[in-house]
Each structure stands twice: as structure tokens, then as C-alpha cells.
A and B are shown apart, each in its own frame.
Chain A
Amino acid sequence: MRAISWLPRSVKAEEPRKNVPRVLVSPGGRVPYFTTSLSAGRKAARSTLGKTTATGIGRPVAEYLQTILPFWLAYLVAALVHATLLIVLSLASGVIFVWGERKVAGRIQDRLGPTRVGGRYGWLQTIADGIKLLTKEDLRPKGADSFLFRIAPYVGWGASYAAFIALPFANGWVAQRMNVAVFFILAVLGLEVFGVILAGYASGSKWSLFGAMREAAQVVSYEVPLGMCVIVPVMIAGTMDLTTIANMQQGWFFNWFVFHDIFTFLLFGVYFTCATAGVNRAPFDLAEAESELVAGFHTEYSGFRWLFFFVAEYGSMFMVSGLAALLFFGGWNGPIPVTAFWPDHPAMNYLANFLGMLNFVFKCTFGVVVMMWVRWTLPRVRIDQVITTCLKYCTPLAAVLFLGATLWTFAFPGGITGMRQVPYGMVREQYKPAEVRAAEDHVAGHPAAESDLAVAGQHRSPR
């Protein structure tokens, strides 16, 4: 990648190409064949909060802690820091979004919503509700399977929370950077329905079982078009690493994948529909349709366990909004690359990353608010309409748009203007064994070094 002057600083941290080890055999014995563009391979992948910069201001937490703590303790503390931050985010977003939902609902229905608790705007309403829920009696129906009944909310919340591990909040600010982050998030988010099914079955109630079955059918169906929608940005970017995907949309807003071509623009609509249905939100909230099923799968729950279902739901909403922001709306790369014009100083780069995180969280919150807006605007659809929407509209639409985006990328690899520095889909170096590269070099008149053949998998800078 050539250096581009108008790139944001935060992006430049992504490309420590010169740090690529010459021999890709890591001490762990694992060879990252495909990760040449991700620079230091697993070392980079292991980097946690704060991308490694030349000056070391944003070193990974574990690396920094090693200097002041014993080794084993450093890793423990680093892991706890990440886990705690994400748990706080999961719970705090639940608290804030429940309040936001009530305010949005109130405004849309031409009333005020909560106004009293905590002074203006009733911003402490959710805390009060939470305390009330904690003091409620923990009921369990007589016919319930008590073990599964008790564990179900935590299974659902655990799945929703585990997906946050791979969600980057800014360039390099991620609990665990994975090169298959998109796939991991989809796989883990799909497990959230497990808690719902367990709850529905274990409650020993007809309402709960019906709700759980509806949710199961719905979520399993919607995973198909959702997966197809997610594939397109992945295909355009040529990687499943969310950090790299977001970094490829650097600069102005027209670099966002949603504006990549007409197909991705339309595809975002399909993605949003499928994501709304996937996290079981209105108008697709058949699993808890209160007009038919009392409260669906959580009919029999009260108190703390019920709270966990809610936190899991809002966590998932945040998650799919975050995925949308990363895949379609540039992640932390704002509409205007303000931080690109800053002086290249470690502190300024850190601040740029911080602003990027705020940008990203704003986009996620905006997505959640749109979901609320949709919920309080549209009426709930019937279960057959839900499945029809998935199978007869979303899946074919996603397939056609996927095909269109593929052809578009094939026709214009450098974008319409041909100004893209890295043609999408060409991020990774072509896979070639060492002996082939050596043979090609020989033909080209650059005889390969002896060690080239000896050390299989030796890295060569990409041409």
C-alpha cells in the first residue's frame, strides 16, 4: 500500500509493514501464510487495547503490565481488564438503551416517557427499575425443569456477551483481534437463541414453548440471508478481520462500503431487516408477542433472570448495529476524516483513536435508536409473514445483490474512478509456495537466495 497523505492517522498505525518478520515461522511454530497484510501475524492479532505504535504509547495491555507485574499476573489482569470493560459496556448499554427505548416510545406515542427519577428526563429510571427487579421474588413454576430454567438467561446473555470479544471499537482497540472476526461474531450471536429455547422449554408453560419455537424458527431462518449480506463486505474487503475491513473504508464517507456500489447500498436494507429479525425485535418480535403469548419465552421469569434476558437483547442490538457500522459505515472512520489533518504525534494518534471509538459508539447507538424507532412505528407482523419475508424476499434479494456486487467488484476492481489505493479483494498476498516464488524470480533474472529454498515459507515483501 502506498502512503497516502490524506489518510487519518489512526489508519497509519495499521501498516507497520517494516515490522514484518522476515521468517514467518513464529516461536509458536505456527506460520501465518495469509496474514502478510496483517503485518506481524499473530503478534499483531494478540495485541489488545491500543495498537502497537512506534513509540509504544499504545502498547497492548498485557505487554505493558509485564513490565510492572509478574508474567502470569500480567496476563490475568489484562484479561480481567478486557472482560470487565466489556461486561460494563454490556450492562451499561442495557441500562441506557432501556431508558432510551422508553423515551423514544413516549415521544413517538406523543407522551413524555419517564420524567421524574433522577431529576430531568428521568435518566435514573432504569436504575430504579433494576433495583425493583432485584428485590422481586425469584419465582419458578412447579412444572419447570429447575436446572435449565435457572441457567437459561445466563446462556443467552453469555452468547450475547461473548460476541463482544471480537468487536473492535477503534483501530486496534479490541479485546481479541481475530482474522475471522465476522464469522466468529455470527457464530456466537446465533447461539443466543439457545438461551431462549432452553427458557421456553424449561418453563413448562405453553406460552413459553410457543414463543421459543417461534424464535427458533425465525432466527435459524434469518441466519441464511444475514450471512449472505455479511459476505458481501467481506468479499469486497477480501478479509474477515473487522479491524482491516473498517480500515479499508478510511477517509471520506464515500469510501464506506455502503456507498461502494448500488448493490451494497440496497444490501444494507436487507441486512438491517435481517438483523432486526435476528435479534428478535419488532416488527419481528413474535417470540414475545404480548398480544398472543402473554410474554413469550420469558412469561415465567421474574426479577434478576428476567433482567438478564433484557440485557442480552440490548447487547445483541448493539452488536448487530456495530457489525453494520463496521461492515457498511466505516466503523470508526467518520464521514469527514478530521483526524487525518492532525500532526503525527503519539498523543494525537491516541486521541484520534479515542475519537474514532466515540464515532463508532455513536454509530452503534444510532443503529439501536433506529431499531427502536422501527419498533414503535410498525405493527407486529404474523409468524407466516415473518417467514415469508425471510424466505421469499430477503434471501433472494440478498442472493441477487451478492451476485451484483460480485460482478461489480470484478468489473471495477479499483472502484469506478480507479483511485482506490488497494483494489478491494487484493489485500492478501497471493498464496505461493517458496519454491514457486524462487522459480519465478529465477525466470525474472533475480536468482533467489539459497536460504529461500531452505526456509520454506520465508516472507518476501509483496510486489
Chain B
Amino acid sequence: MQSPIIWHTFFFFLFSFLACVFAVAVLVTSNIVRMAFFLVISLGSTAGLFFLAGADLVGSMQLMIYVGGTLVLLIFGVMLTARSPLISMHTPSGEWILGAIVGGSLLAVLLQIALSPKAWQQGPELPPAAYTAVEAGTPAAAELARDPRLRPPQTATKLGLGLLGERVDKLVVQDPTRRAGMSGYLLPFEIVSVHLLVVLVGAAYLARARFRVSD
């Protein structure tokens, strides 16, 4: 049976293309609102890549946090700059060179990291028959099951549960006294949240207009 991979590949390239093209468009545009619009398309395409990878939660997060965050940025951009010359930004050539150096080195580092995972160098996936064999529990399955490609991938689930106060990576520890000490990272997480809230309230306080009724 032919695999549906062509649509997957097609959409992967479509979303990647959109993400890259509009990322470049952000750079070359001088109008701040158009910049924000292109940034939204670029980030939205990245969300599409996440959905394509089956990571619905991460994709929705991308939409909610990054695209929505850009939206708020856009609101402030328009509110603060709609009537000023800042609405059109021209970058001097010196900043272009500096930006190219910084961006280029960052890209080099990221490429290095992106190409390093061992799993990506292991060749293609196992044939479907292998999965069926493991599922059916044939004698050969125990041997097959040791294949690293059959192991569950490392996900952020443990980390996420740890942030919610449940150290699932330490569930093997049977001693209740020691277990009691492993309460996860809920408290630090909450402290950081409260910090952020305080910062936000402070920013709102500093930024508010001070109207005085003069009589």
C-alpha cells in the first residue's frame, strides 16, 4: 500500500516555505504593521508544522502565545506609532551587517544542534511488519522490541508533570519518606508566575497616564 507521505511532504514544504519567505519579508519590510502581519504568517506556518508533526498542543500554544502575542505587539505598535514617523522604519547598512553577523552565528549554532540528534541518523523507520510482530507478541518480538527505534520518544511529559508537582520520573522510589520530599517544581513555578504578575502590574502602574484634575 502506498503511504500518504506525499501529502505530508507537500504540506511540510508548503509550511516551511511560507515560514521562511515571510520571515525574510519581515526583514525587508519597513512598515511596522506589515512587518507584524508577515511575522504572524511566519509564526502561523510554524504552528502548521507543529500540527503536521502531530503536536497539537504545541501548535495551539504557538498560535495562542506567539501569534497572539504578536497581535498584542501589533496593537501597541499601532497605538504608539500610528501618528509618528516610526511607522516606517529604515535600517542603516551598518545595522544590516551587524545583524547579519549575529543572526548568521546563531543560525550556525542552531543548525549544529538540529543536525546532532542520533535518532535522525539511524536511517528509515522499521518496516510495518515489525510493528505488527511486536503487537502480536511473536517470539521474535522480544528481540525486535530492543530496537531503539521502537522505544517511546523522549517527550516533555515528565517535565510538564514535574512542573505541576508530580515527579513521575521518581515514581520508582518506593520509600514513602523519600517520596514525600519529591514534590516537583510547583512552588518555583508559582513563584515565577507571581513574579511575572508583579512585573506586569508594576509596568501598568509606571505606564499609566497621570491625569490630575486641576482646579
Q: Which of B2-10, B13-21, B207-215 contacts A (4 or more CB under 8 A)?
A: B2-10
In the complex, are the beta carbons of A191 and B34 less than 8 A apart? no
Smallest Cβ-Cβ distance to A219: which chain B residue: B71
Within 8 A of B (CB), among A445-462: 450-451, 454-457
Q: Taking A30-B54, A455-B134 as contacts, is the C-beta distance between A191 and B67 under 8 angstroms? A: yes
Complexed CA–CA distance, A66 and B47 (Å)? 28
Can you offer 30 A-B residue contacts whose CB atoms are under 8 A?
A21-B135, A22-B137, A23-B135, A25-B151, A25-B152, A28-B54, A29-B125, A30-B153, A31-B152, A31-B153, A71-B2, A72-B7, A183-B60, A184-B56, A186-B64, A187-B61, A187-B68, A191-B63, A193-B71, A197-B71, A197-B74, A197-B75, A198-B37, A209-B82, A213-B79, A217-B75, A431-B166, A432-B168, A435-B172, A451-B141
In the complex, chain B residues whose CB is within 8 Å of the CB of A451: 137, 141-142, 145
In the complex, are the beta carbons of A145 and B33 less than 8 A apart? yes
Q: Taking A29-B125, A29-B149, A216-B75 as contacts, is the C-beta distance between A194 and B40 under 8 angstroms? A: yes
Complexed CA–CA distance, A436 and B166 (Å)? 14
Q: Which residues of B contact A (CB under 8 A)?
A: 1-4, 6-7, 31, 33-34, 37, 40, 54, 56-57, 59-61, 63-64, 67-68, 71-72, 74-75, 78-79, 82, 125, 128, 131, 134-135, 137, 141-142, 145-146, 149-153, 155, 157, 161, 166, 168-169, 171-172, 174
In the complex, are the beta carbons of A187 and B134 less than 8 A apart? no
Q: Taking A76-B7, A439-B172 as contacts, is the C-beta distance between A184 and B68 under 8 angstroms? A: no
In the complex, chain A residues whose CB is within 8 Å of the CB of B59: 184
Return the CB mask of A24-40 against B: 1 if under 8 Å, else 0. Answer: 11111111011000000
Complexed CA–CA distance, A424 and B150 (Å)? 34
Complexed CA–CA distance, A23 and B150 (Å)? 10
Within 8 A of B (CB), among A327-373: none
In the complex, are the beta carbons of A201 and B137 less than 8 A apart? no
Question: Which secondary structure characterizes the binding site on chain B?
Answer: helix
Which of A23, A186, A431 has a CB less than 8 Å from the CB of B168? A431
Complexed CA–CA distance, A22 and B134 (Å)? 9
In the complex, are the beta carbons of A201 and B54 less than 8 A apart? no
Complexed CA–CA distance, A439 and B61 (Å)? 36
B11 to chain A, nearest CB (A): 10
In the complex, chain A residues whose CB is within 8 Å of the CB of B56: 178-180, 184
In the complex, chain A residues whose CB is within 8 Å of the CB of B145: 451, 454-455
In the complex, chain A residues whose CB is within 8 Å of the CB of B146: 454
Complexed CA–CA distance, A212 and B82 (Å)? 13
For chain A, give the interface size range: 35 or more
Complexed CA–CA distance, A308 and B133 (Å)? 53
A438 to chain B, nearest CB (A): 10
In the complex, chain A residues whose CB is within 8 Å of the CB of B137: 22, 451
Complexed CA–CA distance, A7 and B168 (Å)? 35
In the complex, chain A residues whose CB is within 8 Å of the CB of B40: 194
In the complex, are the beta carbons of B82 and A201 less than 8 A apart? yes
4 tightest CB-CB pairs across the interface, nearest first? A187-B64, A31-B152, A187-B63, A457-B152
In the complex, are the beta carbons of B74 and A190 less than 8 A apart? no
Q: Taking A29-B125, A75-B4, A456-B151 as contacts, is the C-beta distance between A148 and B142 under 8 angstroms? A: no
Complexed CA–CA distance, A212 and B131 (Å)? 54
Within 8 A of B (CB), among A292-335: none
In the complex, chain A residues whose CB is within 8 Å of the CB of B134: 23, 25, 455
B56 to chain A, nearest CB (A): 5
Known: A184-B60, A217-B75. 17 other contacts (CB 8 A): A23-B134, A25-B134, A71-B1, A75-B7, A76-B7, A148-B34, A180-B57, A187-B67, A193-B71, A201-B82, A216-B71, A431-B161, A433-B169, A436-B171, A439-B172, A454-B145, A457-B151
Which of B71, B128, B131, B161 has a CB less than 8 Å from the CB of A191? B71
Which of B57, B128, B152 has a CB less than 8 Å from the CB of A183? B57
Indicate whether A188 reaches chain B with its CB closer than 8 angstroms: yes
Which of A33, A209, A213, A450 has a CB less than 8 Å from the CB of B155? A33
Complexed CA–CA distance, A79 and B166 (Å)? 40
In the complex, are the beta carbons of A191 and B54 less than 8 A apart? no
Complexed CA–CA distance, A450 and B1 (Å)? 33
Complexed CA–CA distance, A436 and B150 (Å)? 19
Q: Taking A220-B72, A435-B172 as contacts, is the C-beta distance between A213 and B78 under 8 angstroms? A: yes
| B128, B161, B171 — most chain A CB neighbours (10 Å) | B171
In the complex, chain B residues whose CB is within 8 Å of the CB of A82: none
Complexed CA–CA distance, A174 and B37 (Å)? 30
Complexed CA–CA distance, A217 and B75 (Å)? 8
Within 8 A of B (CB), among A173-231: 178-180, 183-184, 186-188, 190-191, 193-194, 197-198, 201-202, 209, 212-213, 216-217, 220
B84 to chain A, nearest CB (A): 14
Which of A72, A148, A201 has a CB less than 8 Å from the CB of B2? A72
Indicate whether A380 reaches chain B with its CB closer than 8 angstroms: no
Complexed CA–CA distance, A34 and B158 (Å)? 12
Indicate whether A42 reaches chain B with its CB closer than 8 angstroms: yes
Q: Taking A145-B33, A194-B40, A220-B75 as contacts, is the C-beta distance between A433 and B1 under 8 angstroms? A: no
A117 to chain B, nearest CB (A): 39
In the complex, chain A residues whose CB is within 8 Å of the CB of B68: 187, 190-191
In the complex, are the beta carbons of B161 and A213 less than 8 A apart? no
Return the CB mask of A107-128 against B: 1 if under 8 Å, else 0. Answer: 0000000000000000000000
In the complex, chain B residues whose CB is within 8 Å of the CB of A457: 151-152
In the complex, chain A residues whose CB is within 8 Å of the CB of B78: 197, 201, 209, 212-213
Q: Taking A27-B125, A451-B141 as contacts, is the C-beta distance between A187 and B152 under 8 angstroms? A: no
Return the CB mask of A394-436 against B: 1 if under 8 Å, else 0. Answer: 0000000000000000000000000000000000000111011
